[in-house]
Amino acid sequence: MILPLLLTLVLGCVDFGRFAYSQIAITNAARAGAAYAMTNSYLAADESAWIAQVQQAARDEMSQQTGYVAANLMVQTISFTDANGLRRVQITAGYPFQMIVPWPGIPNSVSLQAIVQMRAIR
């Protein structure tokens, strides 16, 4: 009689743990891309190569995750100058998350996203 309740509780904990783990992984990927972007300057002619290297740094960070599919990782890089004249980089990383169990009232698939903004030091 209690087994279905306990099983539901355990599966809910597993899904929540996977969700939290995946969100941390996405945030770390965005931070890795931002760390590369802030320490490696570029010229206007080399901007596309620089963006590709920033995206690769984020992909390298995610590559150790279980079940990682490189085609599903979205990395957007924006470089701009703020009102104080400082160059900043903003990295947005997104990755889809699939629940193990379809829970009523909760979407089965969620797109996780992390945005990291840092001041460029070079």
- For residue 17, is pLDDT > 90? yes
Instruction: Assign residue 105 a region (left: φ > 0; alpha: ψ between -120 and 50; beta: otherwise).
Output: left
**pLDDT at residue 3, as a whole number:** 94
**pLDDT at residue 67, as a whole number:** 87
Other CB atoms within 10 Å distance of the CB of residue 44 = 5
Percent share of the chain, pLDDT over 90: 70
- Kindly indicate the confidence band of residue 103, based on its pLDDT and cuts at 50, 70 and 90: confident
DSSP class of 5:
H
Radius of gyration of the chain (CA): 18
pLDDT in tens, 31-87: 999 999 999 888 878 889 999 999 999 999 999 888 899 999 999 999 888 888 888
Mean pLDDT value across the chain: 92
**pLDDT at residue 118, as a whole number:** 93
Distance (Å, whole) CA 94 – CA 76:
9
Please state the three-class secondary structure of 8-76 as a single string.
Answer: HHHHHHHHHHHHHHHHHHHHHHHHHHHHHHHHCCCCHHHHHHHHHHHHHHHHHHHCCCCCCCHHHCEEE
Nearest in space to 95 (alpha carbons), one of 56, 62, 118: 62
**pLDDT at residue 10, as a whole number:** 95
